[in-house]
Amino acid sequence: MVRREKAPAPVAVEALPTGGYPVFKQYLKDSLDYPLKALDDRKEGTVQLTFTVAVDGTIQDIKVSRKVSEEIDAEAMRLVREGPKWFPAIRNGRRVPHSVRISIPFKLEDHL
């Protein structure tokens, strides 16, 4: 008698930036242009963004879920828009749109 085992369930994978999060964090650090108005106003804080990584890896529907200032929020959105490509999430062996939440810190001490 041949015993057949069930095939393992496909692994679910979250959406990820190319190179993973350590590379993405380094990109943010290297590419962040602190807005002059925010520097003059001594504004700092962490912007929280949500967006969807589509099945083709494109970023869609970027929203600011935690604001700091108009200029800083716009810079955070630019960083994500112009940043590395993303790998889409995978569920049941298929690519699926996936909502992502990230935080981007803006610290004056890093830019003075």
pLDDT tens for the chain, 112 residues long, are: 666 776 666 678 899 999 999 999 999 999 999 999 999 999 999 999 999 999 999 999 999 999 999 999 999 999 999 999 999 999 988 999 999 999 999 999 877 6
Q: What HEC string does the chain produce?
A: CCCCCCCCCCCCECCEECCHHHHHHHHHHHHCCCCHHHHHCCCCEEEEEEEEECCCCCEEEEEEEECCCHHHHHHHHHHHHHCCCEECEEECCEEECEEEEEEEEECHHHCC
Domains annotated for the chain, with CATH where assigned, are 16-107 (3.30.2420.10)
Q: Record the pTM.
A: 0.86
